[in-house]
Amino acid sequence: MNHEQNDADGIDEMLDEEISAFETGAPPWDALDPGIVSLVRAFSRMPGIITVSSCEGHPERDGEKADWHIGWKLRSADAAVSIIDAGPHPEGWLLTEWLLWHANDLGRAGYDIIRSTSIPAPFLNFPGRALTFWVHGSLSGEKTMSPDEYLASLRETWEKTGYGDLEDAGAVRPGDSP
């Protein structure tokens, strides 16, 4: 085996380890903003997605521009294999579609809630990991929702659309706090 092959194997192994850590990671509960923990906990129990960013919003620092957000990515269809090899989790795709519909519907109803995606250049991320989905809520304005109010709306709408109890949506993952 030549030197170039050894380097490639090392990079592949490192990439596999990073992807595995990403796939099985749990939110750092003690590092989260207190005002968003309930929403992150609910998202972390949903099938096929992993929360990658959250913030409760900081009006004392950001003034009227303050908003809260939650961002997530799709999990692999097979937890033992990277998303490149297994494809995205089918329940994660369906859930993401539903979550983005819900946020869009709140926005159409006049709430200061928006949904968005971000996708930096794929070569700056692990393959299959560039796309992030977001929900943002303004903390100032005429029709705002806090993260907890958004979660209450999410639960109510989830149950009314026939999906059952949001608390039962997916299992608690290893590392989650009870």
Of the chain, the percentage scoring pLDDT greater than 90 comes to 46
pLDDT at 39 over 70: yes
The bridge status of strand 49-55 relative to strand 67-74 is antiparallel
- Chain-wide mean pLDDT for the chain? 80
Q: Which two tokens stand for residue 133?
A: 């989905």
Look up the pTM and report it: 0.78
Confidence of residue 143 (pLDDT cuts 50, 70, 90): very high
pLDDT at 177 over 50: no
- The answer for residues whose C-beta is within 8 angstroms of residue 87's C-beta and 6 or more apart is 76, 77
Cβ-in-10-Å burial (0-12, 13-18, 19+) of 134 comes to middle
Mean pLDDT comparison of 10-24, 91-105, 155-169, highest-scoring range: 91-105
- Per DSSP (E only), the strands in the chain are 49-55, 67-74, 113-118, 132-138
- What does each C-alpha distance from 99 to 7, 47, 48, 172, 174 come to in angstroms? 41, 12, 13, 19, 23
pLDDT at 56 over 70: yes
